[in-house]
Structure formats: C-alpha cells, structure tokens
Amino acid sequence: MSSVNHTGRAVQAEQLSRRFGDFTAVDGLSLTVEQGEIFGFLGANGAGKTTAIRMFCGLLAPSAGEAWVDGLSIRTQSEEIKRRIGYMSQRFGLYDDLSVRENLEFYGGIYGLGQAEIHSRGEALLARLDLAEWGTRRTGSLPLGYKQRLALGVAILHRPRILFLDEPTGGVDPVARRAFWDLIYEVAADGTTVFVTTHYMDEAEYCGRVSIMTAGRIAALDRPAVLKAQWGAKDMQAVFLRVVSA
Amino acid sequence: MSPVLELTGLARAYEGRPALRELSLTLEAGHTLGLIGPDGAGKTTAMRIACGLLTPDQGSAKVAGLDCLTQARQMRALLGYMPQRFSLYPDLTVDENLRFFAELHGITAAERHIRREKLLAFSRLEPFVKRRAGHLSGGMKQKLALACTLIHEPRLLILDEPTTGVDPVSRQEFWALLGELASGGMALWISTPYMDEALRCDEVQLLHLGRVIAQGPPAEIARAFPRRILRFPGLAPAALTPLLAGLSGVTVHRFGHDLHVVCDTAQEDALRERAQSAGLEVESEEPGLEDAFFELVAVAELAA
Ligand SMILES: Nc1ncnc2c1ncn2[C@@H]1O[C@H](COP(=O)(O)OP(=O)(O)OP(=O)(O)O)[C@@H](O)[C@H]1O
Ligand SMILES: [Mg+2]
C-alpha cells in the first residue's frame, strides 16, 4: 500500500474504514483528489461523509486502511496535516460571544500567525467576504449567511492548501448560496483544493468531480456530466435519487 | 368556522431593530403555506409569535379562533411546532425519543405503533432505532426531530426549515408524508430555503425585511416574472462577459450547470444578434420560482 505514489495528491484514501462498536460507518473507502480540484463529497444521511472528513482532518483515527492528505499520513502526521488544511464543520464552531474580528484573531492565534499577519490577513478577508461593516458585531447575532462566510474566513485564514467544507450552505437562502459559491471559486482560483459536502444538488453541478456515498461506500464517482450520461439523468438530483435508491 | 391559523398585522422589533414589519395570513385546514425569503427576513420571528412563544409589538395571532397569547394553553394542544434547532435527548435512543414525545402528547400505545412505522419508513431510521440520538449523523438527527414532531398529529403543523441537512431521497419521502397529512385535513405552515419544496405548497409568501413582497400559488409567482431569461447552452461563464458588454442591468445567475441571463426585451434582441454573429446557440428559458425569488428580492433591495 505504501508503494502507491500519494505525493502530489491533495487527498488519497486506500481502503479507509472506521467502526463504532460493531457498526461500520466508513467501509473501505478509496479515492484520489488532485491538487486544485473542487471535489463534491455527496451521499445519503449517515453514509459516513462527516466521519471520513474527520479522519482526513486528523480528528478521528481510522480503524483500518490509510489516507494521505497533501502527502502526509493521517495515522502518523495528523498534527502537520492540521496546519495545512482548513476545516469548516457542519456546526460552524465560531464563538458566539466574540465579535467577528475577535473570532478571526482567536483562530489566527491558534494557527500560530503573528499579530501583524493576523491583522493584515484578517482585514483583507473581512473585505473580501463582505463583512467589513460587521467586524464589531457579536457573532451570535449575525444572520446565518454571514456566520457561514465568517466560518469560511476562519477556515482559510492561514492559507491552507486543502479546504474541507462539511455542508457549508445548509439552511442558507438561494441568493446567499450563490454568493458563497463565488467565494469557493475564488479560493480555488488561488490553487486551494476544495473538498465539499452538500445536500443541494444544484451545487453538485458546480464541482469538477463528485462522489456519491451510501452506507460507508462510494457508489458513484465522476464528473457531473459523465454521471448524468451514465445514469440517463437530466440533472444531479436525478442521478442522486437513482444511485441512492439502486 | 375560523381558519386554522390567522395572523393579522404582526410586527415585532428586537432592541429597536425591526425583525417583522407587517405580516398577515389565513391558513385553512388541508392547506400548505410556504414561507420563503432571505436570511434575516423575519421567518422564525413570525413562527415563534404564532406559537405563542414571542409577544408581537402589534397585531394578533389566532389558532382555530384561540388567541395565541391569552389562550396559549388551549391553543398549544392543537399545534405541532418544529423550531430550527430542535432539541432531542442525546442520551436516549431513537426509539426512546419517539416514545418520549408520544407520551408527552398523550398518544395511546396502539396509535404510537402505527405512526412509528410510518415515521421510521420516511426517515430510514429503522436500522438505527437502538442508537443514541447523540451518535446520529447531522441529517439523521434532523429526521428524528421531524419524526418526534409528527408523532402527534395536530391540526396545525408549523415547521421552521425542517429539511436542512436532509438528503434528497429523504426530502422526497418527507414531502410525500406531508402530502398525506394535508389530505387528512392538517394545515401546514413551512419555511424553507429549497425552492423545489416551496413549489409543492398550495401558496407561498416571500418575506423580505419583515414584509411580504409576493404571495400566491408558487406557479403564479413564477409566471408573473416581468423579464426575459436566456440560456447559452455549453457556453463557459467567462465567454459570456464579452457578450454582455455595454448592456447595463442584465443579471446572470448560476443554475446548476447552466447560466440564466436575465434581461429586458430590447436587451434580448441585442443579445440574440450578438450570439448569432458569434455563432452561439441561444434558448429562452421559462422563469421558475427561484428566478422570481432573485428578481423580487433584488427589486425590494433597491427600494429599501
Ligand atoms: N460516535 C459514534 N458512535 C456511533 N455511531 C456513530 C458515531 N458517529 C457517527 N456514527 C454513525 O456513523 C454513521 C455515519 O455518520 P456521519 O456523520 O459520518 O454521516 P454523514 O454522511 O455525514 O451524514 P449527514 O449527511 O446526515 O451529515 C451514522 O450511522 C452515524 O450514526
Ligand atoms: Mg455529515
């Protein structure tokens, strides 16, 4: 397995599994994501997406198999992985009692950025995320779409090479979702790899490639256009329904 | 007979900041009313007032003729409410949660078993009934919360963005179940960020900055769309920019793998000419509810 050339790949998983007691949440997952891709990690509820992402981010140990993130082993180099990736979890993990700016400063500190860099990078991000006017607002009082943009800002503060986004647009209105995807494209244009989960099938179309998981395994993986042709479906919604019900 | 839900001139501010400026509606038995709008439009505030959890600054809320403030106790017996963040008991299993909510509403064991079957089918949680709720995935928790809300079949069901995080298969099955409940006479008031769900409602209201800016059957709202929509099949977004040069007020929205170019009739002629001389294919697109949402919100934003 170690003979596989995983260097240069953003994410490579080989027979990755995770069990909870006698239940297998991720069941022999293998996939490769190249640097710079926008990869859509789709699947049914409970399919194992969040569990897999937590393993890639070095937050959860695998029960079997191995994966490399930016060429680093999730088993032995998880601390180094955490410095190279950004992670936006299904629940944002922002501090509600801190202001928008304080959240950026706090996380900047965690990532070990210096004061000057936190300041310059933070202000640049606030402007880019259209949050400059909101800098002093208590994070808990922000509308959902703003919190979600701030969570993205926090995740890219330290210029990660790979960005893991777990349902970043859950519950967000159609206008704010489009605006958020414009930001994802901007981040990807800088060369960052984006690994994203979503239950909005129009967003699946915005990804270069997507995988669809059911019960811990990948049931389909390709470019959206190829999957639509393969499954004789007019859009990704129809592909998803067919793959998951198959 | 009084309507199942009647809201009249509701308004509410938080610390001087208006969240809801003016909302009125009537909802009859067997009908489904959708509430859509951008984040912060006032949807949750309106629903909390209707549930008697929040006092309005102005206006009144009535459920089956009962005042939501002064007759809150009788009113609540008729109501099922699922807030955006519903709390399950993380230490109880899926089954224990269902049973807890059933007992809370005084549902008989026989009735509970029938409903349990239905709810486990739509939610696909049957294999996981013995798992602790705290160990479910995000979407599974959401579906269990829905099941707990639906275990008592009230006359009025108020659901605040119930399908956030729920996968496309379960969303479809969930809406089939709602359809059954509505046919049985239940009245449903649902907020959602999904336009495909709004389309399944008998009527929708579009709320923006605390005011209704459009309402009616969803297909009619889409049909009233005042501008034209063009598509350029196979054209990359970057290649569109030169085509639009000098045409002000044309807006472009991403729709899956497509782009919708929204324009006026004069601009449409110009765009078709340019496309023809560039040898590009052009198609007209029927406006959908999502197009209407963008347009109506943009117009309201300019006026605000
Ligand atoms: N700590 C745990 N103990 C037991 N089972 C768990 C635990 N964590 C996760 N699981 C189970 O693992 C499976 C996969 O969960 P996961 O959160 O990875 O799903 P998901 O694909 O992210 O789903 P969703 O789309 O709903 O977010 C689920 O059946 C879940 O109940
Ligand atoms: Mg998840």
For ligand 1, the distance from its centroid to the CA atom of residue B135, given in whole angstroms, is 7
pLDDT confidence of residue B255: 83
pLDDT confidence of residue A4: 52
Residue A122 has pLDDT above 70, yes or no: yes
pTM: 0.92
The reply to whether A73 falls in a domain is yes
In order of start, what are the domains of chain B with their CATH numbers?
A: 5-221 (3.40.50.300), 226-286 (3.30.70.600)
Query: Is residue B119 within 8 Å of residue B151, measured between CB atoms?
Result: yes
The mean of the pLDDT values for chain A is 92
pLDDT confidence of residue B222: 95
Q: What is the pLDDT of residues B189-236, one digit of tens each?
A: 999 999 999 999 999 999 999 999 999 999 999 999 999 999 998 888
Query: Is residue B39 within 8 Å of residue B30, measured between CB atoms?
Result: no
Among residues A107, A11, A90, the alpha carbon closest in space to that of A50 is found at A90
Q: What is the pLDDT of residues A4-51, one digit of tens each?
A: 556 679 999 999 999 999 999 999 999 999 999 999 999 999 999 999
Cβ pair A205:B257 closer than 8 A? yes
For ligand 2, the distance from its centroid to the CA atom of residue A141, given in whole angstroms, is 25
Cβ pair B135:A20 closer than 8 A? yes
At CB < 8 Å, which residues of chain B contact A? 36-40, 84, 124, 128, 135-140, 142-143, 161, 164-172, 193-195, 253-257, 290, 293-294, 297
The reply to whether A185 falls in a domain is yes
**Structure tokens, B94:** 């899926």
Among residues A11, A6, A13, A47, the alpha carbon closest in space to that of A194 is found at A11
What is the rounded CA–CA span in Å between residue B258 and residue A136?
38
The reply to whether A103 falls in a domain is no
For ligand 2, the distance from its centroid to the CA atom of residue B3, given in whole angstroms, is 40
Which residues are found with C-beta within 5 Å of the ion, ligand 2? A 49-50; B 137-138
> How many CB atoms lie under 10 A from the CB of residue A19?
14
The reply to whether A168 falls in a domain is yes
pLDDT confidence of residue B110: 92
The reply to whether A114 falls in a domain is no
What is the rounded CA–CA span in Å between residue A69 and residue B115?
46
Q: How many H-runs (helices) and E-runs (strands) does chain A carry?
A: 9, 10
* Helical residues (DSSP H) of chain A, grouped into ranges: 49-56, 78-84, 100-110, 115-128, 144-156, 174-189, 201-204, 224-230, 236-245
Query: Is residue A201 within 8 Å of residue A228, measured between CB atoms?
Result: no
The reply to whether A140 falls in a domain is no
Among residues A143, A241, A9, the alpha carbon closest in space to that of B39 is found at A143
* Type of residue found at B154: P
What is the rounded CA–CA span in Å between residue B19 and residue B302?
19
Q: What is the three-class DSSP state of B92? A: coil
pLDDT confidence of residue A126: 92
**Structure tokens, B60:** 């009144």
Could you tell me the CATH number of the domain that includes residue A80?
3.40.50.300
Residue A2 has pLDDT above 60, yes or no: no
> Sheet holding B32-36: strands in order across?
B66-67, B58-63, B5-14, B17-27, B211-216, B203-208, B32-36, B187-191, B156-160, B79-82
Residue A3 has pLDDT above 70, yes or no: no
Q: Which residues pair with B251 in a beta bridge?
A: B262
Q: How many domains are there within chain A? A: 1
**Structure tokens, A16:** 């990755």
The reply to whether A122 falls in a domain is no
The reply to whether A76 falls in a domain is yes
> Sheet holding B258-263: strands in order across?
B251-255, B258-263, B228-231, B283-284
Strands A193-197 and A162-166 come out as parallel
pLDDT confidence of residue B223: 94
Query: Is residue A244 within 8 Å of residue B167, measured between CB atoms?
Result: yes
Cβ partners under 8 Å of residue B198, min gap 6: B34, B36, B192, B204, B218, B289
Residue B277 has pLDDT above 80, yes or no: yes
Find chain A residues with C-beta within 8 A of B40's C-beta: 143-145
Cβ partners under 8 Å of residue A114, min gap 6: none
pLDDT confidence of residue A6: 62
> How many CB atoms lie under 10 A from the CB of residue B179?
13
Q: What is the pLDDT of residues B152-181, one digit of tens each?
A: 889 999 999 999 999 999 999 889 989 999
Question: Domain residues for A74?
Answer: 9-93+161-245
